[in-house]
Structure 1
Amino acid sequence: MVNTLKGRLLITALGATWLSNSLLFLFLSTHDWLLLLLTLAFSSVFVIAIVQYFFTFIENKLVALEAGLLNFKDNEFSNSLAITGSDELSQLCYLYNDVADKLRAEKQSIYQRELLLDKVIESSPIMMFLVDDDDYFVYSNSETRHFLNQGKRMEGEQLTQLMKHWPETLCQAITEHQDGLFVIEEQDNSETWHLSRGDFLLNNKKHQLFLLKQMTRELNRQEVAVWKKVIRVISHELNNSLAPISSVTHSGQLIAKKYQDNKLPLIFETIKERIDHLNSFISGYAKFAKLPTPRLEAININAFVAQLRTQLEFNVPEKIANVEIMFDPSQLEQVMINLIKNAQESGSALSQVSLEITVTSQQAIFEVKDRGAGMSEQVLTNALIPFYSTKQSGTGLGLALCREIVEAHDGKISLHNRIGGGLAVSVVIPR
């Protein structure tokens, strides 16, 4: 660019000099061609020297500006011009440096925001993936790769090809453009998911953004919260009614003694007994409704199992790893006691009731197994719901309390029938 400008300036100056000299000779009406040529030669040398002298003053600044603007074009803002002077071209160079500083700061800010956004998306439990109009993956976050493609990269892969290995209900929700809740059934377990999508233009090309969120835990928490509210209301109303009844019963017992009637004390004693039973019943539900937050401690698994075996009889088929896991010992002990007692009452021989513990780098899995009658599909579906019980005198709180404790540990509890008969209850606690 600089050489082109210099060449044009030189040609313009030479042309103007030659034209002015030629007109001057015509005006003087002289035909001394030798003198004309010598004049033109001398004038050309003089013009070239003048142009070279003055252009050298601005050439360096123009070259620097050209290089800087080329850097701008390549999205590079780290260079500044080393310029001195106060002329107009120097002022332009100073302005260039100010613009470069602002663009550099803005680029760094954008880069930091992109790093933060990438970290948030990669760490998000929500699955996110972007598909272009040609059905190819443009982006997928870590959760998506882990759940849908065994941790492998998905960029460049075709959506319809990868969907062949996905759960059927998920494929149906995507192909039918269904936004909302759907259920994935796998390994005797059902998980509720929510799918949402959005269409937008990126680089003048249509793209679809898919968001998949696991909703089972959230729905369970909402369900338990509703049950707790119901229990608190019922407990409050029953306590309000039982308190005056208990007081009146006590007064009636005192009065009955004066009349020496054999039937009245028996009647009042029966009423008192039923009141005590109701109070005990209410306190059990209140315990479920007011379960405290787990107090996590580093507990040795072997010591934990040894403590359990002092209270209950069960088998430990395999050697347990001598490691420590973070959990609330009293709460998880309550879970294990409930599950092992249920296994013992299932009709299974005590020798076939076992507790198996598997510890990995990510989680600890406690499995209580028996060889009892197992559960029907309907019972398996409702077993973890509060108040649901198949026992004649059961309250329906045992497994519900277990689920509440396990989920408070960010864990998961599941039940499934065993091949050959019996039930297995799995409790997964993250490490």
Structure 2
Amino acid sequence: ALAQLIDEGAVQEAAIFDHDGRLLAFAAGDNALLPDIPGEKQLQQVRKKGQYAGIESMPNKAMSLRVLAWVSSNSYTGKSYILQFSQAVPKQIESDAETVRAVYRDYQELTLSRRGLKRLYGITLTLSLLVVLLTAISAAFFISDRLGSSLEALAEGTRAVAQGDFTGQHPIRSRDELGALTGLFNQMTNQLADVKRASEQQQREVESAKGYLESVLTHLSSGVLALDADFRLRSVNTSAAQILDAPLHQMQRMPLQQIAERFALLNSFCQTITEAFASTSNGEWQRQIERLSRNGTQILLMRGTRLPQGSEAGYVVVFDDISHLLKAERQAAWGEVARRLAHEIKNPLTPIQLSAERLQYKLSAKLDEADARLLQRATQTIVSQVAAMKNMVTDFADYARGPVLKLTRVDVHHLIREVLGLYEANAVPITLDLRASRAEINGDATRLRQVLHNLLQNAQDALQGVAQPKIILSSEIVSGEIHLRVLDNGAGFSENVLSRAFEPYMTTKTKGTGLGLAIVKKIVEEHGGKISVNNQLDGGACVNISLPLTEEVRV
């Protein structure tokens, strides 16, 4: 049947294959030994769809038409076969097909090239977009950083200016509005810095002037008080606190009335200030007051001035302690009086004594016994009173003139024991408490003995009538000086006598000139020392003498 089909010229090749694609029969018009075996893909299409048709280029052959058909057997075996027919395509059709194929192949190549170009153009465009985007981002970051750094610098400079730092200067990086703003900011900081420097310079000058004024007031011997318009204490110097012996530095902004209430000893002082400013018409006044202080009576010379009205309105009070000045003037006056009295009284005393003794000598033999005894008593009275007056004149002379001291190295402890040897038989016991480790001074031993005798004699006189009298003589070293204290358990000094104890003719004794402590004070001051008197809390008087020690000789 296959050969018949070939002979009839219907097909060029015919072949039958089984279900698995094995060749069962074959016939060809060109005496070919084997047919073109269909591929597995073609066989699968036949099994699935029942047929296959296509124009194929056979190896080393021209183009041919291949047809595959699925044929089922009618026999009882039920086998199926695949029938293949092949027929060569005519030359003209083959040529046209080849042309179409070449065109299609070119089309495919162009299609593939188009896809590549599209991909290349897409990649190129994407890369270009990425480059542009990155460039834009970089430019944005650059511009933002440039603008942001300038703005941040201005913000930092503004914070620095707010904290008082005007030294910052920022570079001008552009000529736009931001650059102009930066330039104006730098100009502003320069002006603020100049103003700050001028203000600091002015403040330093004010502080320097204030410090100078405070230094002057601190070292000023006069006391200075500054009061506001309501008489509240604004400022006070050191001398004011020392003169008034009160913690005035702790009373600032306190009214004078409250100060007087807290410190009773300042009552008269505060009252004088208030009354003086109330009574003055020109805002200035000067007064001298006498007030009671812890160390006795104190005399103050006060001057007050009202400050001009305004923000600094108020009052200024300046005062000095003239107690020592008045005492010095009084002592100088008493010295002059004593010198003249000594001169005027001493001359007639000797003739009076000699005349009385001569009268007794001449008349005693011519009178009876009673008259002779009367003459003797009268003469003796004249002679004893003349001797007393001579002693008084001697005291006057010692007080009036300053004898030249004969300074030598004196051991005060040795001098004390030497003087106390004269008081061994005294009824009043004298206790020594010599604690000073050094006791050598430059002094006049004779004048210092006079000081010790005078003080011990005064202590004995003060203890008359005391049940258990006692005198304590002590020594100690304080700040490079030797302090001598004579203490007794008598009645002490009265308030009136305590403030004027060293004035001439100030005495509580029924007998005496009142020059003892005045002479003692003068001798102590001639030795470069100080003397003070006060009453003890448990009764009795205390005389304190401080004398400078000699420098230690180091070997």
Report the TM-score when normalising by structure 1: 0.58
| Structure 1 residues 26-41: aligned runs within 5 Å | none
| 1:210 is the counterpart of 2:306 | no
Could you tell me which amino acid in structure 1 is paired with residue 302 of structure 2?
Answer: L
Distance 1:364 1:143, change over 3 A: farther
Q: Tell me, what secondary structure is at the counterpart of 1:205?
A: coil
Q: Distance in 2 between matches of 1:236 and 1:116?
A: 54
Aligned to 1:340: 456
Q: Give the CA deviation at 1:150.
A: 6.1
In the alignment, which of 401, 417, 425 is matched to residue 519 of structure 2? Answer: 401
In the alignment, which of 259, 277, 283 is matched to residue 394 of structure 2? Answer: 283
Q: Distance in 2 between matches of 1:327 and 1:116?
A: 40
Distance 1:124 1:362, change over 3 A: farther
Aligned to 1:198: 305
Q: Distance in 1 between matches of 2:198 and 2:302?
A: 41
| 1:74 is the counterpart of 2:199 | yes
Indicate if the aligned counterparts of 1:231 and 1:289 stay in contact, CA closer than 8 A: yes
Indicate if the aligned counterparts of 1:194 and 1:215 stay in contact, CA closer than 8 A: yes
Aligned to 2:287: 180
Aligned to 2:535: 416
Aligned to 1:425: 542
| 1:165 is the counterpart of 2:281 | no
Q: Tell me, what secondary structure is at the counterpart of 2:514?
A: coil
Residue-by-residue CA offset, 1:349-406 (whole Å, 9 max, x unaligned): 7861112345433876543222345566666576544234444442222123234445
Distance 1:374 1:147, change over 3 A: closer
Distance 1:363 1:159, change over 3 A: farther
Distance 1:269 1:381, change over 3 A: same
Indicate if the aligned counterparts of 1:139 and 1:155 stay in contact, CA closer than 8 A: no
Distance 1:296 1:424, change over 3 A: farther
Residue-by-residue CA offset, 1:11-46 (whole Å, 9 max, x unaligned): xxxxxxxxxxxxxxxxxxxxxxxxxxxxxxxxxxxx
Could you tell me which amino acid in structure 2 is paired with residue 287 of structure 1?
Answer: D
Indicate if the aligned counterparts of 1:128 and 1:209 stay in contact, CA closer than 8 A: yes
Q: Give the CA deviation at 1:338.
A: 0.9
| 1:321 is the counterpart of 2:439 | no
Distance 1:368 1:69, change over 3 A: same
Q: Distance in 1 between matches of 2:468 and 2:443?
A: 27
Indicate if the aligned counterparts of 2:407 and 2:443 stay in contact, CA closer than 8 A: yes
Q: Tell me, what secondary structure is at the counterpart of 1:197?
A: strand
Q: Tell me, what secondary structure is at the counterpart of 1:192?
A: strand
Indicate if the aligned counterparts of 1:375 and 1:417 stay in contact, CA closer than 8 A: no
Indicate if the aligned counterparts of 1:418 and 1:424 stay in contact, CA closer than 8 A: no
Aligned to 2:240: 144
Q: Give the CA deviation at 1:410.
A: 6.2
Could you tell me which amino acid in structure 2 is paired with residue 320 of structure 1?
Answer: R
Distance 1:185 1:401, change over 3 A: same
Q: Tell me, what secondary structure is at the counterpart of 2:459?
A: helix
Could you tell me which amino acid in structure 1 is paired with residue 488 of structure 2?
Answer: D
Q: Distance in 1 between matches of 2:213 and 2:467?
A: 56
Aligned to 1:229: 336
Q: Give the CA deviation at 1:413.
A: 2.5
Larger helix fraction of residues: 1
Q: Tell me, what secondary structure is at the counterpart of 1:230?
A: helix
Q: Distance in 2 between matches of 1:169 and 1:296?
A: 46
| Structure 1 residues 267-306: aligned runs within 5 Å | 275=386, 277-292=388-403, 302-303=413-414, 305-306=416-417
Q: Give the CA deviation at 1:239.
A: 3.3
Aligned to 2:227: 131
Could you tell me which amino acid in structure 1 is paired with residue 275 of structure 2?
Answer: E
Indicate if the aligned counterparts of 1:364 and 1:430 stay in contact, CA closer than 8 A: yes
Q: Give the CA deviation at 1:428.
A: 4.7
Residue-by-residue CA offset, 1:84-128 (whole Å, 9 max, x unaligned): xxxxxxxxxxxxxxxxxxxxxxx89x96x9877654432333221
Unmatched tracts of structure 1, length 5 or more: 1-61, 78-106
| Structure 1 residues 236-247: aligned runs within 5 Å | 236-242=343-349
Q: Distance in 2 between matches of 1:181 and 1:240?
A: 42
Q: Give the CA deviation at 1:203.
A: 7.2
Query: Cα RMSD (Å) of the superposition?
Result: 5.0
Q: Distance in 1 between matches of 2:410 and 2:467?
A: 30
Q: Give the CA deviation at 1:424.
A: 0.7
| 1:360 is the counterpart of 2:360 | no
Q: Distance in 2 between matches of 1:213 and 1:410?
A: 23
Q: Distance in 2 between matches of 1:238 and 1:428?
A: 33
Distance 1:163 1:393, change over 3 A: closer
Could you tell me which amino acid in structure 1 is paired with residue 394 of structure 2?
Answer: S
Q: Distance in 2 between matches of 1:323 and 1:118?
A: 40
Indicate if the aligned counterparts of 2:469 and 2:490 stay in contact, CA closer than 8 A: no
Indicate if the aligned counterparts of 2:439 and 2:482 stay in contact, CA closer than 8 A: no
* Higher RCO, Cα 8 Å, sep 6+: 1
Indicate if the aligned counterparts of 1:406 and 1:413 stay in contact, CA closer than 8 A: no
Q: Tell me, what secondary structure is at the counterpart of 1:201?
A: coil
Aligned to 1:4: none
Indicate if the aligned counterparts of 1:294 and 1:327 stay in contact, CA closer than 8 A: no
Aligned to 1:34: none
Between 1:398-407 and 1:362-371, the stretch displaced more is 362-371
Indicate if the aligned counterparts of 1:128 and 1:140 stay in contact, CA closer than 8 A: yes
Q: Distance in 1 between matches of 2:408 and 2:237?
A: 33
Could you tell me which amino acid in structure 2 is paired with residue 401 of structure 1?
Answer: I
Indicate if the aligned counterparts of 1:344 and 1:350 stay in contact, CA closer than 8 A: no
Indicate if the aligned counterparts of 2:228 and 2:315 stay in contact, CA closer than 8 A: yes
Unmatched tracts of structure 2, length 5 or more: 1-186, 278-285, 549-555
Q: Distance in 2 between matches of 1:377 and 1:134?
A: 36
Could you tell me which amino acid in structure 1 is paired with residue 276 of structure 2?
Answer: H
Could you tell me which amino acid in structure 1 is paired with residue 235 of structure 2?
Answer: Y
Q: Distance in 2 between matches of 1:363 and 1:169?
A: 36
